[in-house]
Amino acid sequence: MVEEFAFDSTTERRKHRNGRAGWVEVIAGSMFSGKSEELIRRLNRARIARQKVQVFKPRIDDRYSVEEIASHSGMTHISKPVMTAKELLSQIEEDTEVVGIDEGQFFDMEVIDAVNELADRGKRVIVAGLDQDYMGKPFEPMPQLLSIAEYITKTHAICVKCGQTANYSQRTFESEERVEVGATGKYEARCRTCFIPHADKPTVHE
Ligand code: ADP
Ligand code: ZN
């Protein structure tokens, strides 16, 4: 008899999935590039199709966190704040078909295994996140999530200085911290030419 998962005998969990494979989608880009809009659009379509959807975002600190994800253009979707990837996994209900994750760059590295496990269990997992930090460096765990994803969407903003395609999040205030929450007024979208990998003055619109 041919062993069903002979190609991957080390991954016990795959033997338990009920025949239907899930997959991983990653939406990555700079700030203001439309990641949250695109995530919310996909989640809304899944809900219209009566699929069971659960959405998570990282709780960055212990303070109160609103139970929704929001785009800069005002689109919102209900979401649960979680501290860790482990907590995210523990919240998943068995009959959930679509798992949405926003701000993927703020999760710990365990999110890679968690996302793989959910897809192995037959779920469609959609992760949105910043692929580079304010210095233009790859923002873990997004590079790892991009490598395990079946589908990748790269989103772009418009450079506020020159109007070209923007791939960078320019910090417009002094700080060496990698994580500085809040976007408007603190960051702006810039292209490769206009981006400088440290704080710059905000663009003044005439
Ligand atoms: P992200 O999640 O990537 O930060 P959002 O989905 O929250 O992006 O927001 C995208 C929206 O941001 C756009 O539809 C637009 O209304 C607004 N926006 C503000 N500044 C820019 C910019 N420089 N380029 C493109 N969109 C911008
Ligand atoms: Zn530019």
Does 168 map to a domain?
no
The number of distinct structural domains making up the chain is 1
pLDDT-derived band at 88, boundaries 50, 70, 90: very high
Lookup: tokens for 84: 């860790």
Predicted local confidence at residue 5, as pLDDT:
41
CATH number at residue 87: 3.40.50.300
Within-domain flag for 147: yes
Instruction: Tell me which of 44, 73, 105, 133 to substitute to probe ligand 1's pocket, judged by most ligand atoms within 8 Å of the beta carbon.
Output: 73
| 174 within some domain | no
What residue has token string 């975002």? 57
| C-beta 32 within 6 A of ligand 1 | yes
pLDDT at 184 over 80: no
Q: Is residue 80 part of a domain?
A: yes
Mean pLDDT score of the chain: 89
pLDDT at 189: 97
Q: Say what the pLDDT of residue 146 is.
A: 98
How confident is the model at residue 187, as a pLDDT? Answer: 93
pTM, rounded to two decimals: 0.90
Q: Give the structural domain span for 116.
A: 21-156
Alpha carbon of 200 to ligand 1 centroid (Å): 20
Residue 166 in domain: no
Torsion of the alpha carbons at 141, 35, 154 and 23, rounded to the nearest 10: 60
Sign of CA dihedral 108, 125, 37, 191: positive
Residue whose token pair is 């959930």? 96
CA distance linking residue 168 with residue 117, whole number of Å: 31
Contact 129, 28 (CB under 8 A): yes
Q: Is residue 206 part of a domain?
A: no
pLDDT tens digit sequence for 28-84: 999 999 999 999 999 999 999 999 999 999 998 655 567 999 999 999 999 999 999
pLDDT digits (tens, 9 = 90+) for 95-145: 999 999 999 999 999 999 999 999 999 999 999 999 999 999 999 999 999
- Residue 101 located in a structural domain: yes
